[in-house]
A and B are shown apart, each in its own frame.
Chain A
Amino acid sequence: MNALGSVEKRYEKQDLVDFRAGDTLKVNVRIKEGEKERIQAFEGVCLRKHRSGTSSTFTVRKVSFGIGVERIFPLHSPNIESIEVLREGKVRQGRIYYLRGRSGKAARIKARRLFG
């Protein structure tokens, strides 16, 4: 490994859950409101993972009150408390942007395997 990579490694989370595009995720985000800190969950389908060392990100899409909402999270940010995989989706693309143009029945994703 090169020297830059070994430095970056120190700042990356080592205990990340494995997930990919198409999976339904629950992202627990730390939110600071004044002095208090609370955890807010953002639930939706992962559209893409952007792999780039410490600055890696992933995009989660959900439909909230009829409006599509996408949030890009920094993967290694300390503000991401945890990530839960609710459902593993079977998709053929690494970036499932085609989901944006679909709604209802067409926006379904088949499960890769079912959770027991």
Chain B
Amino acid sequence: MDGILGEKVGMTAVYGEDGSQIPVTVVRTTGNVVVSKRTEERDGYTAVVLGFGERSAKRAGKPVEGFFAKQGLLEEREDGKKIVKRHLREFRVPAARLAELDVGAALAVDSMFHAGERVDVVGTSKGTGFTGVMKRYNFKGGKASHGVHEYHRHGGSIGSNTSPARVFKNRKMPGQHGNARITIQNLQVISVLAD
């Protein structure tokens, strides 16, 4: 199972062969690099650490800068600014695959995925903060008129009275919405474009 890091560019639509419109998300994956490896001897499992995106080494901090320098991956721009990778993630891979990859090797999407393939996508959803039940759980809310007083966007009753004398767990109530890790499985790759 191979993976790659990417950044959402935006959404658009493309046409299928039969003229149907297919909604698509464009993801940029330029600049994926093997930053480090996890080996059976040292770590007890095999995985590859990928880096993606740019970040000023100054902002990332000395320990991060040191790590990248050790791996020989500390980029230096013409203006003397040092750049490290913004995102680091481990991907579990079998030992055989790990042997093929060297630290510093660049990964290209077009060699890993092809159109029509099914993939799982993991990301962080947009944070919307502390949110009411209408937005968070699609509750219908209260009536807009007919003498209703300040009860338009409420969720209504949250349970019975004396028995059970408590609110059941998992009761849907207002709270933090979004900014959570979301996995969407079995998405189809529509096309893979080289840079």
Tell me if A78 and B26 are in contact (CB < 8 A). no
Interface string of B119-155 (1 = CB under 8 A from A): 0000000000000000000000000000000000000
* Residue ID in chain B nearest A32 by CB atoms: B18
Known: A55-B12, A55-B13, A74-B15. 6 other contacts (CB 8 A): A3-B28, A4-B26, A54-B13, A74-B21, A78-B15, A79-B19
Interface string of B1-30 (1 = CB under 8 A from A): 000000001101111011101000010100
SS of A interface (majority):
mixed
CB-CB under 8 A from B28, the residues of chain A are 3
Residues in chain A within 8 A of chain B (CB atoms): 3-4, 7-8, 10-11, 30, 32, 53-55, 74, 76-79
Q: Which of A3, A53, A78 contacts B19 (CB 8 A)?
A: A78
Tell me if B9 and A7 are in contact (CB < 8 A). yes
Cβ-based interface call for B112 (8 A): no
Tell me if A3 and B9 are in contact (CB < 8 A). yes
Residues in chain B within 8 A of chain A (CB atoms): 9-10, 12-15, 17-19, 21, 26, 28, 193
CB-CB under 8 A from A11, the residues of chain B are 12, 14-15
Tell me if A55 and B21 are in contact (CB < 8 A). yes
Min distance, Cβ A113 to any Cβ of chain B, angstroms: 33
Contact status of A8 and B19, CB under 8 A, knowing A3-B26, A3-B28 = no
Tell me if B26 and A7 are in contact (CB < 8 A). yes
Complex Cα spacing A3 to B19, Å: 24
Complex Cα spacing A30 to B17, Å: 12
Min distance, Cβ A66 to any Cβ of chain B, angstroms: 30
Min distance, Cβ A12 to any Cβ of chain B, angstroms: 10
Tell me if A7 and B19 are in contact (CB < 8 A). no
